[in-house]
Amino acid sequence: MGKFVITTRKNGECQFTLKAGNGQAILASEGYTTKAACLNGVESVKKNSADLSRFEKLESKNGKFYFNLKAGNGQIIGTSEMYESTASRDNGIASVQKNAPDAEIVDETAT
């Protein structure tokens, strides 16, 4: 079972990482100024991950593959790691779709 891990960055912002059942990071957020905003981001991933059209498949300048998960308003709510192949990237998307909806939230922030 997947989990969202909420941590604090060095600059004080919160971020979340969605990890698969094996502990591998499959989606990471940008920084949020408040924990409440970060938790809203988690809920947005849970909701939007069910819709395959919300995943934007991309290729980086160095030839690696990745994806962004976008909210209904087009805002990016999470970015994947870099993958060696499109098949691996597509497996990453499937993993987010499988793990995100029921993932527990683990708060590792100090507050």
Residue 37 has pLDDT above 60, yes or no: yes
Decide: helix, strand or coil at residue 105. strand
What percentage of the chain reaches a pLDDT higher than 70?
A: 98
- Give the position of tokens 């969605």: 18
Q: Would the pTM count as exceeding 0.85?
A: yes
Structure tokens given for 27:
């989606």
Residue 110 has pLDDT above 70, yes or no: no
pLDDT tier for residue 111 given thresholds of 50, 70 and 90: low
Distance CA 17, CA 7 (A): 8
Number of helical H runs and strand E runs in the chain:
2, 7
For residues 43-60, give the mean pLDDT: 97
Q: Note the pLDDT of residue 1.
A: 85
For residues 70-77, give the mean pLDDT: 95
